[in-house]
Amino acid sequence: MRTVLSSLTVVLLCASALLAQRPERGRGSRAPEQLEHFTFQERSFQSDAVGQEVPYGIYLPAGYADEANKDREWPLVLWLHGMFEDHLRFHTRGGAPMLDGAVENGSLPPCIFVCVNGGRTSMYLNRKEQRWQDLITEDLLQHLDSEYRVLDDRRRRAIMGVSMGGMAALRIAFTQPDKFGAVAAHSSAVFAEDPEQLPDRMKSFASRLGFDEEFGNPIQKEKWEQANPLCIANRVDVEQLRRLRIYFDAGTADRLGFHQGNQLLHEALERREVEHTFRLIEGGGHSWGASFEKETLPHSFASIGAMFKAELAVPTGETDGNGGTKPAPGEKRDD
């Protein structure tokens, strides 16, 4: 009997190890079995910025591989995941069907949508050994440009994120508007300019979130200001901000209190007369909780989609032989 039990234990342990390596499915998972307007793949590439192979999930528009589309180029959206998450979180927690639905209802044009793995607690910041922000703004963009038919134009490129990823998306867009024309962020880690005003809940486990490693203890002012979207919004050249289409939201029941910092960001942009959309969702929770994807993603996809549709409709200036002008590269006219 002891031998039988020992063998059973080994089998169970092996099965548990294998399950742990699978993409997140099952309990709490809403990974779609099939998408109508995209095909999903998991791939990886070598990043010099972080010195390792980095996985990512990519949604390619339906028909991407068709012969008729062999010369067609597509808008690009990058999605940055939250803390303790990975590149599959969007796919397994309800994001994929919302993305598919946005193309279905026409609020978002067909595009290439990429979820990269930015590390569990990196905050997408450049460290001495690993440059997580450069992973996004340099290595990933170069890789995608070489491997896929993406439009190489800031007005056809957007960056999105949730929580830690929302913080990074705002920071990157605010400081590098030459690379992205639109930003959308949800439940973003946006804090008061004075780190002493951090929400009590945040202070209680700041070390666990990597604050000591990133900002020092006590927090160093310069590092804090370089990472915090609110500080950047108050200091960067206002014309940089005005080049962007900006959307962000937060819930009043955010367990981390991030709605407070997002409200401050909204007020800062208003003072500087920067056009933007901010939604404070009454009773909304943090990140993927409380029907997050249904309350937020349709709005952010529509915001980004509005830029893509406007820019893709801009003519090249060349005549089409009928007194009109040609559509932008990669886009087919409805008429």
Nearest-angstrom CA–CA distance, 283 and 85: 24
**Residue 207 token pair:** 């070390």
- What is the Cα–Cα distance from 99 to 142, expressed in whole angstroms? 24
pLDDT at residue number 257: 87
**What is the pLDDT at residue 209?**
66
Instruction: Identify the structural domains of the chain with CATH numbers, from first to last.
Output: 26-191+227-312 (3.40.50.1820)
pLDDT at 198: 73
Q: How far apart are CA 237 and CA 46, in angstroms?
A: 34
pLDDT value at residue 74 = 97
Q: What local confidence, expressed as pLDDT, does residue 327 receive?
A: 39
Predicted confidence at residue 32, as pLDDT, reads 67
Residue-level pLDDT at 317: 42
Closest to 311 (Cα-Cα) out of 148, 183, 154, 77: 154
Structure token pair of residue 147: 């491997």
Q: What is the pLDDT along the chain (335 residues), one digit of tens a residue?
A: 444 333 433 333 333 333 333 344 444 556 666 899 999 999 999 999 999 999 999 999 999 999 999 999 999 999 999 999 999 999 999 999 999 999 999 999 999 999 999 999 899 999 888 999 999 999 999 999 999 999 999 999 999 999 999 999 999 999 999 999 999 999 999 999 988 777 676 666 666 666 767 777 777 788 889 999 999 999 999 999 999 999 999 999 998 889 999 999 999 999 999 999 999 999 999 988 767 899 999 999 999 999 999 976 755 443 333 333 333 433 433 32
- Predicted confidence at residue 291, as pLDDT, reads 78
For residue 145, CA distances in Å to 137, 157, 173, 192, 195 come to 12, 12, 19, 36, 38
Sign of the CA dihedral with 279 first, then 232, 285, and 200 last:
negative
Per-residue confidence (pLDDT) for residue 222, from 0 to 100: 83
pTM higher than 0.95: no
Q: Give pLDDT, residue 224.
A: 87
Q: Please report, as a single letter, which amino acid is at residue 25.
A: R
